[in-house]
Chain A
């Protein structure tokens, strides 16, 4: 095999310029594939990170996917119950302390309980519907990114206790309220209570900035007249990837609907898969083009070296040896191109990561391109390159291997 390699190398080295072009072809292909993959992956990671950051990884609500089993159903085979409604809809997660204690026991991450209700925020005669989230500020801090998004006041102000509220800046704008003003919250049951605005947040998600308000859990329970009730447990995991498993286990035990962020965003994640398919299609196309360069050079070599092929065969090299020789030549070019492509790809990705631009819509956010550094991109790009090089070398190699030495020797003499 060393011998075959030596011969392959001398063949390639003998065609410096053509080899260089073929190698550069592969290198450019590999380099741009890596850069493209880094950008696409970076964009995707950035997108998913935003998605994952802004929402809990697992959200356990007081909904049930199936209605609860009635005693009659377990007692009698023939019993069928449908359309059952409790007399008084006292929803909420039963025994929340036990549930969260159990979760805390094994979930690798942090969790926060909350009570979500619908309220109307009233200020100077203006009413805005809002989703009121009653939270325990210290626990909330660990699961919600909202803490970092304050434009005025802070989330910590809630911790001090008292009837304070934090709302989105868009909502404040609609109400005409400012930090320090007192707004009235009206619950669905008609209870009202005054709260002082101690913080304004801006998450960038309009729906949240316009419609969310945070108060202490106790205050929310009083306002909604649901003492000690919570209806949502949100979990932030150390590894967001484990969310489906955690959700499954929590749901199996607690019986409440536990939704992982993957489930909640299934359609978006599917769209990302489509994006990846498109990307790899383009990568394949690039490599196919690079493959033509390799095919060209190996093909030229086999034509030019047909006399040498005849000689080697007469010396005792088999068809298999000849095939290996020329496939190896293709692969060697592919490998050299890959190595060079890695450098090019690295340089391109580095260059892209240094790009800074202003987002024109807001005019204030300076942002860079989302770039993902992943060895896998390099491996995949060279994988494609080597595979296409092997195929590009194989086709002329097969022809060369089948060459009848007698024809060549006769032709030469």
Chain B
């Protein structure tokens, strides 16, 4: 089984008068069905690493293979197309488009990909939202929802095009403990039931301990990469 993501000496330096090293020489391999936590103190480069893996940012040096394909020669449009089809993002803040309803927000990536017809898109959006307990909120606007509900909509949107890899940046960072627990359970469900790979940046060590693998960063470098005891 080939690795889903393969990083080799990944380094990201912000060009400035005094260059800032965000990520330094990170080498790791992520397989399918993994549930990975990236942890580390503030400013350790957790999010930066996630953006690199998610093709939102380009490494200064190093190699990144996505599903065996080298990402370095890809132009901007190709990278966007990969994000659309093979990656799903969940951020700390829900980042839903406020003008569109919950259902429409979930449909947007599908419409962009244009692989289904409108009817099928709608059905799939409703199905995804239903699975996340949001059946009654499909036609509401994001501002009518609670924080936890919005974050679940964001998860549904990340899953819209059925990507193999879901990247989450502090997905529970702005939620109360009950909502956090709910969102965590959903992410865990993605791995256990839907066979996705989830990589989540978190500073919640208790949560990280319940995931399958923990990559710990300090100053942009991987200081430990180990299997956890699991839940």
Contacts and interface: CB of A to CB of B under 8 A. Distances in A.
Interface stretch (A148-156, A225-233, A305-313): A305-313
Contact of A318 (B81, B92, B95, B98): B81
A317 B112 contact: yes
Given A2-B111, A307-B95, A311-B97, A413 B76 contact: no
B141 to A, nearest CB: 11
A10 B112 CA distance: 16
Nearest to B113: A316
Contact of B99 (A14, A310, A317, A406): A14
A320 B77 contact: yes
A406 B97 CA distance: 17
Which has the most chain B C-beta neighbours within 10 Å: A310, A311, A313, A315?
A: A315
A225 B54 CA distance: 103
Nearest to B52: A406
Which has the most chain B C-beta neighbours within 10 Å: A307, A314, A405?
A: A314
Contacts of A406: 51, 56-57
A405 B109 contact: no
B157 interface: yes
B34 interface: no
Contacts of A314: 54, 56, 83, 89, 91, 95
A316 B112 contact: yes
A398 interface: no
A270 to B, nearest CB: 51
Contacts of B111: 2-3
Contact of A409 (B81, B87, B97, B169): B169
B24 interface: no
Nearest to A405: B56
Given A314-B54, A315-B109, A413-B170, A10 B84 contact: no
A413 B173 contact: yes
A98 interface: no
B47 interface: yes
A317 B93 contact: no
Chain A to chain B: the 9 pairs with minimum beta-carbon distance, closest first = A316-B84, A318-B80, A10-B99, A316-B83, A3-B111, A318-B77, A413-B92, A311-B95, A406-B57
A319 B75 CA distance: 11
A375 B76 CA distance: 43
Give the bracket for the number of chain A residues in contact with chain B: 20 to 34
Interface in A294-337: 307-308, 310-321
Contact of A315 (B57, B89, B99, B169): B89
A413 B91 contact: yes
A315 B54 CA distance: 10
B93 A321 contact: no
A409 B80 contact: no
B100 interface: yes
Interface string A389-404: 0000000000000001
A2 B169 CA distance: 30
B85 interface: yes
Contacts of A160: none
A413 B169 contact: yes
Given A317-B112, A404-B57, 4 more contacts: A13-B99, A312-B108, A315-B83, A318-B77
Contacts of B100: 10
A262 to B, nearest CB: 54
Interface in A190-215: none
Contacts of B91: 314, 409, 412-413
Contacts of B82: 316
Interface in B61-98: 76-77, 80-85, 87, 89, 91-93, 95-98
A251 to B, nearest CB: 62
Contact of B81 (A3, A14, A316, A412): A316
A11 B108 CA distance: 15
A312 B108 CA distance: 9
A253 interface: no
A184 B47 CA distance: 110
Contacts of A413: 47, 91-93, 169-170, 173
B214 to A, nearest CB: 21
Nearest to B81: A316
Contacts of B92: 413
A87 interface: no
A152 to B, nearest CB: 77
A410 interface: yes
Interface string A76-99: 000000000000000000000000
Contacts of A310: 95
Interface string B104-143: 0000110111000000000000000000000000000000
A316 B47 contact: no
B157 A11 contact: no
A408 to B, nearest CB: 10
A149 to B, nearest CB: 68
